[in-house]
Amino acid sequence: MAALLLHSSERLSKTWLNRIFAIIYATVVSFLLLRHCRNLIYYPIPIALFLADFVLAFMWFTSQCFHWNPIHRRVFPENLQQFVEEREYPALDVLICTADPTKEPPVGVVNTALSVLAYDYPTDKLSVYISDDGGSEVTLYAFMEGAKFAKHWIPYCKKHSIVDRSPEVYFENDPAWFPETDEIKAMYERMKSRVEKVVQSGGVCLDEVKESEIRDAFSKWTPNFSRRHHPTIIKIILDNTIDKDVAGGVMPNLVYVSREKSNNKPHNFKAGALNVLLRVSGLLTNGQIVLVLDCDMFSNDPETPLRALCYFMDPNADSKLGFVQFPQRFSGINTNDIYASEFKAETQILSLGMDGLLGAQFMGTGGFFKRHVISNDSCFGFIKDTIMQKNISIPICTKDVLVLAHQAASCDYEDDTKWGSEIGFRYGTLTEDTYTSFRLHCEGWKSILCNPKRAAFLGGSPSNLNDALTQTKRWYMGFLEIFFNKYCPITYGIRSMNPLHALCYTHYTLRSFWSIPIIVYAFLPQISLLNSFPMFARVSEGGFSLHAFLFLGAYGKDFYDFVVFGGGSKQRWWNCQRMWLMWGLSSYPFALLEWSLKSFGFSTSGFNVTSKVIEEEQKKLYEQGVFDFGVESILFFPFSVASLINLFSFVKGFMEVFINGRLQEFFVQMFISGVVVVNSWPIYEGMVLRRDRGRMPLKLTLASLSTAFAIFLASSLIF
Ligand SMILES: O=c1ccn([C@@H]2O[C@H](COP(=O)(O)OP(=O)(O)O[C@H]3O[C@H](CO)[C@@H](O)[C@H](O)[C@H]3O)[C@@H](O)[C@H]2O)c(=O)[nH]1
Ligand SMILES: [Mn+2]
DSSP 695: S
The helix/strand/coil state of 274 is: helix
Q: CA–CA separation, 422 vs 669, rounded Å?
A: 51
Q: Which ligand sits closest to the CA of 478?
A: 1
Strand partners, 93: 127, 290
- What is the Å distance from ligand 2's center to 610 Cα? 6
In this structure, are residues 346 and 505 in contact, taking their beta carbons and an 8 Å threshold? Answer: no
Mean pLDDT of all residues belonging to the chain: 93
Whether the predicted pLDDT of 176 surpasses 90: no
In this structure, are residues 269 and 126 in contact, taking their beta carbons and an 8 Å threshold? Answer: no
What integer pLDDT is reported at residue 270 of this predicted model? 98
Q: Give the helix/strand (H/E) hosting 242.
A: none
Share of the chain above pLDDT 90, in %: 83
Mean pLDDT confidence for 588-602: 94
Chain centre distance of CA 76:
27
307-332: b (≥16 Cβ within 10 Å) or e: bbbbbbbbeeeeeebbbbbbbbbbbe
Mean pLDDT confidence for 641-660: 95
* Nearest CA-CA partner of 507 in 66, 48, 53, 71: 66
Q: CA–CA separation, 595 vs 598, rounded Å?
A: 5
In this structure, are residues 232 and 220 in contact, taking their beta carbons and an 8 Å threshold? Answer: no
Whether the predicted pLDDT of 520 surpasses 70: yes
Local confidence band at 45 (pLDDT 50, 70, 90 cut-offs): low
What integer pLDDT is reported at residue 394 of this predicted model? 53
Share of the chain above pLDDT 70, in %: 95
Q: Give the helix/strand (H/E) hosting 237.
A: strand 233-238
Residue type, 297: M
Find all residues with CB under 8 Å of 147, minimum gap 6, and list them: 237, 238, 243, 254
137 marked ligand binding residue: no
- What is the Å distance from ligand 1's center to 611 Cα? 10
Q: CA–CA separation, 639 vs 676, rounded Å?
A: 10
Nearest CA to ligand 1 atom 17: 610
Active site residue 314: no
Q: Which ligand sits closest to the CA of 435?
A: 1
Mutate to test the pocket of ligand 1, among 97, 369, 427 (most ligand atoms within 8 A of CB): 97
Which ligand 1 atom sits nearest the alpha carbon of residue 328? 29
What integer pLDDT is reported at residue 41 of this predicted model? 63
Whether the predicted pLDDT of 383 surpasses 80: no
pLDDT in tens, 108-125: 999 999 999 999 999 999
* Nearest CA-CA partner of 355 in 421, 300, 416, 311: 311
In this structure, are residues 438 and 505 in contact, taking their beta carbons and an 8 Å threshold? Answer: yes
Domains defined along the chain, listed by start: 81-461 (3.90.550.10), 489-718 (no CATH)
Mean pLDDT confidence for 634-648: 98
Q: Enumerate residues with CB within 5 Å of ligand 2 (an ion).
A: 610
Local confidence band at 2 (pLDDT 50, 70, 90 cut-offs): low
The helix/strand/coil state of 71 is: strand
Nearest CA to ligand 1 atom 31: 294
CA terminus-to-terminus distance, the chain: 77
pLDDT in tens, 318-376: 999 999 999 999 999 999 999 999 999 999 999 999 999 999 999 999 999 999 999 97
The helix/strand/coil state of 386 is: helix
Q: CA–CA separation, 352 vs 70, rounded Å?
A: 5
Q: CA–CA separation, 359 vs 632, rounded Å?
A: 41
In this structure, are residues 625 and 335 in contact, taking their beta carbons and an 8 Å threshold? Answer: yes
Find all residues with CB under 8 Å of 20, minimum gap 6, and list them: none
Mean pLDDT confidence for 134-154: 96
Which ligand 1 atom sits nearest the alpha carbon of residue 99? 33
Ligand 1 residue neighbourhood (C-beta within 6 Å): 97-99, 104, 131, 133, 269-270, 273, 294-295, 364-365, 430-433, 471, 474-475, 478, 607, 609-610
Mutate to test the pocket of ligand 1, among 100, 102, 270, 508 (most ligand atoms within 8 A of CB): 270
Mutate to test the pocket of ligand 1, among 133, 269, 436, 607 (most ligand atoms within 8 A of CB): 607
The bridge status of strand 253-258 relative to strand 126-132 is parallel
What integer pLDDT is reported at residue 541 of this predicted model? 87
Per DSSP, helices labelled H in 160-289 are 167-172, 181-201, 212-218, 269-284
Nearest CA to ligand 1 atom 8: 294
What integer pLDDT is reported at residue 209 of this predicted model? 65
Q: CA–CA separation, 57 vs 485, rounded Å?
A: 24
Strand partners, 258: 233
Instruction: Give the alpha-carbon dihedral of 389, 390, 393, 399, to 10 degrees.
Output: 90
In this structure, are residues 514 and 55 in contact, taking their beta carbons and an 8 Å threshold? Answer: yes
In this structure, are residues 304 and 448 in contact, taking their beta carbons and an 8 Å threshold? Answer: no
Q: CA–CA separation, 274 vs 263, rounded Å?
A: 19
Q: Which ligand sits closest to the CA of 610?
A: 1
Residue 446 exposure: Cα atoms within 13 Å on the Cβ side: 16
Which ligand 1 atom sits nearest the alpha carbon of residue 104? 33
Q: CA–CA separation, 117 vs 111, rounded Å?
A: 10
Q: CA–CA separation, 412 vs 314, rounded Å?
A: 40
Residue type, 147: A
Q: CA–CA separation, 144 vs 122, rounded Å?
A: 22
In this structure, are residues 98 and 130 in contact, taking their beta carbons and an 8 Å threshold? Answer: yes
Whether the predicted pLDDT of 385 surpasses 80: no
Nearest CA to ligand 1 atom 5: 270
Active site residue 692: no
Chain centre distance of CA 523:
31
Burial of 41: CB neighbours in 10 Å, binned 0-12, 13-18, 19+: exposed
Whether the predicted pLDDT of 1 surpasses 50: no
What integer pLDDT is reported at residue 197 of this predicted model? 93
Whether the predicted pLDDT of 379 surpasses 70: no
The helix/strand/coil state of 126 is: strand
104 marked ligand binding residue: yes
pTM for the whole thing?
0.94
Which ligand 1 atom sits nearest the alpha carbon of residue 100? 33
Whether the predicted pLDDT of 384 surpasses 50: yes
Greater confidence, 215 or 69? 69
Find all residues with CB under 8 Å of 712, minimum gap 6, and list them: 527, 530, 645, 648
SS percent in the chain: helix, strand, coil, step 5:
55, 10, 35
